[in-house]
């Protein structure tokens, strides 16, 4: 699956990185806590978040993530879009909630990288 497939599935508006929509999407992570993204994500993951900030883009860049999808209809301002463009970070926005967007991605075969430190690993359930 490519980022363009995800864009279509989640009805995303592309806010930046239109030329990067051919990137492969193998797994995803979702969080509004950037410390969790740094601790639990994997390089190449797709990040779903409600935080439309330059800190989110910086975190995604440091973690070597493939793209950012803003949930709940959030739209980044011009400074965030420019910051993402400078880092070649695709930035998309979906009207879906984080819960709904994650469910659609998981159902389509995109597993999570956000492993729980305690309790059962549910990434292979179902």
Q: Enumerate the β-bridge partners of residue 112.
A: 28
The per-residue DSSP string of 64-119 comes to T-SEEEE-TT----HHHHHHHHHTT--EEE-SS-HHHHHHHHHHTT--B----SSS
Spatial separation of the C-alpha atoms in residues 88 and 13, rounded to whole Å: 17
Domains (range + CATH), the chain: 3-107 (3.40.1390.20)
Residue range 89-110: mean pLDDT, rounded: 97
Alpha-carbon distance of 4 to 43, in angstroms, equals: 19
Query: What global pTM score does this model have?
Result: 0.89
Is 62:94 a contact under the CB 8 Å cutoff? Answer: no
Average pLDDT over residues 103-125: 73
Tell me, what's the pLDDT at 114?
Answer: 67
- The per-residue pLDDT for range 39-70, each reduced to its tens digit, is 989 999 999 999 999 999 999 999 999 999 99
pLDDT band at 116 (very low <50, low <70, confident <90, very high): low
Percent above pLDDT 90 for the chain:
86
pLDDT for 113 equals 84
Q: What is the mean pLDDT of the chain?
A: 92
State the CB neighbour count (10 A cutoff) for residue 105: 24
């Amino acid at each position: 699956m490519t980022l363009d497939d995800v864009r279509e599935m989640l009805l995303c508006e592309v806010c930046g990185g239109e030329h990067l929509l051919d990137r492969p999407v193998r797994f995803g992570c979702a969080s509004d806590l950037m410390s969790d993204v740094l601790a639990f994500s994997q390089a190449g993951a797709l990040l779903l978040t409600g935080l439309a900030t330059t800190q989110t883009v910086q975190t995604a860049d440091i973690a070597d993530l493939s793209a950012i999808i803003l949930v709940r209809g959030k739209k980044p301002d011009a400074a965030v879009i420019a910051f993402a463009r400078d880092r070649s970070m695709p930035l998309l926005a979906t009207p879906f909630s984080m819960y709904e967007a994650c469910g659609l991605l998981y159902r389509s075969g995109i597993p999570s990288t956000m492993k729980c430190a305690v309790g059962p690993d549910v990434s292979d359930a179902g």
